[in-house]
Amino acid sequence: MERVMADCRRFESDSNCQITIIGPVDDVVAAAAQHAEASHGHQDTPELREQLRQMLEPEAAYKPGERQPEPFPA
Ligand SMILES: [Zn+2]
């Protein structure tokens, strides 16, 4: 199964979150949705999960260390 990354370092956030989640697509979306709810005040909805899917990057895009954050897409 394809492995992907959801990287909180990619976007500006109030908490300057540094979490990176890597794994199979469905697991990453589930973990990212739980994380977004627990740590970022989002509600875990089908819309949120769809949005998270759009933000996934290939596992090979992972680089260790700090990442220059982009503004969160509106
Ligand atoms: Zn986060």
Tokens representing 43 are: 């509600």
- Residue-wise pLDDT for 1-31, tens only, equals 799 999 999 999 888 999 999 999 999 999 9
Quote the ligand 1 centre to 35 CA distance (angstroms). Answer: 6
53 alpha carbon – ligand 1 mean position (Å)? 15
**How close is the Cα of 8 to the center of ligand 1, in Å?**
5
CA of 32 to the centre of ligand 1 (A): 8
pLDDT in tens, 23-44: 999 999 999 999 999 999 999 9
- Whole-model pTM: value is 0.91
Q: How many angstroms does the Cα of residue 67 sit away from the middle of ligand 1?
A: 13
In the sheet where 57-58 sits, what is the strand order? 20-24, 3-7, 57-58
CA distance 72 to 70: 6
